[in-house]
């Protein structure tokens, strides 16, 4: 049986980034850049004031202090957004606002707080003269051309996910359309004669379909779009028809749930093999040993186990990095923390992924079980914020030992 690492290597070998498309800056958050973006201009584009104050020649105010203020003649007013034509000559100053272009002749700004004009009323008239109480160095309180970004600088690298923090920089560069990697289109269906849809009341022996909903949410989380093909009977013809439908609809990936183990009604493998082949269908892991991967008419196919926790963990281990690679992400590894376990844990020697709660404990992170570890126990998943990994061939981990944890949430709501 393949190890998780061997199985993952086989999967990732089949995936390459999809083609690109353009989106407007308004829709770019969460998308992956298909190309690097470099600046065509300098930022700031002109020398400007970083304070409300007076544009001066630093030489003129070299000796200024509170006890010996220096008076300068104010020859004009420069609001932001204007293009000053005046020139500051010896003994002169101009009132200037934050962000306004520095006039010729000036080489520094004295903040208004260091002048006798500090209390100037909003919209107040420009005084004839201003007393300067502090000396400033040449270059003080001015922002130079290109101090932020230089023309030609690469600001964003291909493969990065655009964040809200990046949108402002794109606007500053005048970028309105961005080339991003197309979202993977993922066909998904559940199989199982016992399943009814979420809005039906299950009859005796029936349960509601969990997996199409859970998996579709994960597809979205990792940048894909899901193409829902519904709940199917445990019938090889029905499943085969759905696979063909997915191919016709140009799915980039096909995901099925259930029917991949060794039960009498586990028909998914046979349906795949009618028009494709399986690369593997068992992985040495827990939960989720029955896990099929192959291709149907050239389209990658993942046959996830039916137990909801197995399906979700299998998705995180194999489908997530595959989708991220398709989606052009530069990084496909899950964020990992080294954590100290709070209780003794056991495994049967397969690589094991436990639903866990990771919290901060002083300088380190501590992990405890999130509850029942059965592959049908969905309530433990709702409490978990991490998957705790017991490596293959380890059967016991004692309280106080360290393990790696995959963070499910890596954001404000993880409360770390």
CB of 260 to Mg ion, least distance (A): 9
In 222-268 the beta strands, taken as DSSP E runs, fall at: 225-232, 253-257
Tell me which residue of 382, 257, 235 sits closest to 308, measured CA to CA.
Answer: 257
The residue from 39, 135, 256, 261 that contacts ligand AMP (CB under 6 A) is 261
* 3-class secondary-structure state, position 364: strand
Told to check if 135 binds ligand AMP by CB under 6 A, we report no
CB of 378 to Mg ion, least distance (A): 17
CB of 187 to Mg ion, least distance (A): 19
115 binds, among Mg ion, ligand AMP, none (CB under 5 to 8 A by kind): none
Residue with smaller CB distance to ligand AMP, 121 or 264: 264
Residue with smaller CB distance to ligand AMP, 305 or 327: 305
Per-residue DSSP letters for 288-307? --EEEEEEETTEEEEEE-SS
Which spans of this chain sit near Mg ion (rule: CB under 5 A)?
A: 192, 258
Binders in 207-226 for ligand AMP, by CB under 6 A: 207, 209-211
Tell me which residue of 207, 204, 209 sits closest to 190, measured CA to CA.
Answer: 209
The residue from 48, 307, 352, 369 that contacts ligand AMP (CB under 6 A) is 307
Query: Which region among 22-30, 124-132, 253-261, 406-414 touches ligand AMP (by CB under 6 A)?
Result: 253-261
Told to check if 314 binds ligand AMP by CB under 6 A, we report no
84 binds, among ligand AMP, Mg ion, none (CB under 5 to 8 A by kind): none
* 3-class secondary-structure state, position 181: strand
Q: By CB neighbour count within 10 A (0-12 exposed, 13-18 middle, 19+ buried), where does 145 fall?
A: middle
Per-residue DSSP letters for 197-225? -TTSPP-TT-EE--HHHHHHHHHHHTT-E
Q: Burial letters for 163-172: b for 16+ Cβ neighbours within 10 Å, e otherwise?
A: eeebbebbeb
CB of 306 to ligand AMP, least distance (A): 2
Residue with smaller CB distance to ligand AMP, 92 or 190: 190
Per-residue DSSP letters for 3-72? -HHHHHHHHHTT-----EEEEEGGG-TTPBBSS-EE-SS-BSSS-EESSSEEEE-GGGGTT--SSS-EEE
Residue with smaller CB distance to Mg ion, 8 or 232: 232
CB of 269 to ligand AMP, least distance (A): 11
Pair 296, 254: CB distance under 8 Å: yes
224 binds, among Mg ion, ligand AMP, none (CB under 5 to 8 A by kind): none
Residue with smaller CB distance to Mg ion, 79 or 374: 374
Binders in 178-207 for ligand AMP, by CB under 6 A: 190, 192, 194-195, 207
Query: Which region among 110-118, 292-300, 305-313, 356-364 touches ligand AMP (by CB under 6 A)?
Result: 305-313
Told to check if 263 binds ligand AMP by CB under 6 A, we report yes
**In the chain, what is the greatest distance between 2 CA atoms, to the nearest angstrom?**
98
Query: Which region among 12-20, 104-112, 117-125, 259-267 touches ligand AMP (by CB under 6 A)?
Result: 259-267
Question: Residue 132 is encoded by which pair of tokens?
Answer: 């300067």
Q: Burial letters for 9-44: b for 16+ Cβ neighbours within 10 Å, e otherwise?
A: eebeebbebbebeeeebeebeebbbbeebebeebbb
The residue from 306, 314, 321, 328 that contacts ligand AMP (CB under 6 A) is 306
DSSP state of 325: H
Pair 405, 365: CB distance under 8 Å: yes
The residue from 44, 103, 259, 327 that contacts ligand AMP (CB under 6 A) is 259
The residue from 140, 178, 253, 258 that contacts ligand AMP (CB under 6 A) is 258
Residue with smaller CB distance to Mg ion, 192 or 327: 192
Query: Which residues contribute to the site for ligand AMP (CB under 6 A)?
Result: 190, 192, 194-195, 207, 209-211, 257-259, 261, 263, 305-308
């Amino acid at each position: 049986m393949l190890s998780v690492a061997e199985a993952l290597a086989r999967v990732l070998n089949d995936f390459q980034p999809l083609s690109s498309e353009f989106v407007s800056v308004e829709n770019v958050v969460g998308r992956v850049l298909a190309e690097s973006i470099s600046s065509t201009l300098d930022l700031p584009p002109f020398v400007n004031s970083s304070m409300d104050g007076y544009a001066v020649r630093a030489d003129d105010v070299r000796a200024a202090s509170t006890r010996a203020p220096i008076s300068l003649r104010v020859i004009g007013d420069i609001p932001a957004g204007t293009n000053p034509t005046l020139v500051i000559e010896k003994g002169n100053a101009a009132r200037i606002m934050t962000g306004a272009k520095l006039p010729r002749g000036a080489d520094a700004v004295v903040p208004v707080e260091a002048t006798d004009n500090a209390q100037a009323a909003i919209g107040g008239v420009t005084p004839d003269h201003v007393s300067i109480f502090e000396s400033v160095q040449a270059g003080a309180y001015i922002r130079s051309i290109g101090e932020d970004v230089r023309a030609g600088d690469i600001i964003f690298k291909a493969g990065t996910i655009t964040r809200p923090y990046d949108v402002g920089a794109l606007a500053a560069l005048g970028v309105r359309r961005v080339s991003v990697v197309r979202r993977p289109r993922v066909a998904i269906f559940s199989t199982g004669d016992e399943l009814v849809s979420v809005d039906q009341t299950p009859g005796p022996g029936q349960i509601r379909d969990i997996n199409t909903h859970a998996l579709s949410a994960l597809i979205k989380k990792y940048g894909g779009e899901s193409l829902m093909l519904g709940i199917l009977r445990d019938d090889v013809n029905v499943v085969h028809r759905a696979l063909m439908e997915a191919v016709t609809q140009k799915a980039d990936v096909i995901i099925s749930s259930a029917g991949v183990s060794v039960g009498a009604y586990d028909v998914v493998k046979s349906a795949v093999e009618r028009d494709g082949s399986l690369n593997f269908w068992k992985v040495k892991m827990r939960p989720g040993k029955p896990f099929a991967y192959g291709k149907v008419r050239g389209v990658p196919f993942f046959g996830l186990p039916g137990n909801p926790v197995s399906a979700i963990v299998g998705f995180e281990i194999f489908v997530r990095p595959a989708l991220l690679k398709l989606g052009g992400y530069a990084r496909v590894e899950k964020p990992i923390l080294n954590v100290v376990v709070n209780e003794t844990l056991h495994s049967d020697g397969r690589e094991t992924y436990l639903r866990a709660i990771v919290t901060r404990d002083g300088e380190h992170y501590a992990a405890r079980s999130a509850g029942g570890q059965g592959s049908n126990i969905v309530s433990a998943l709702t409490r978990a914020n991490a998957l705790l990994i017991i490596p293959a061939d380890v059967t016991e981990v004692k309280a106080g030992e360290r393990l790696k944890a995959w963070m499910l949430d890596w954001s404000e709501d993880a409360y770390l």
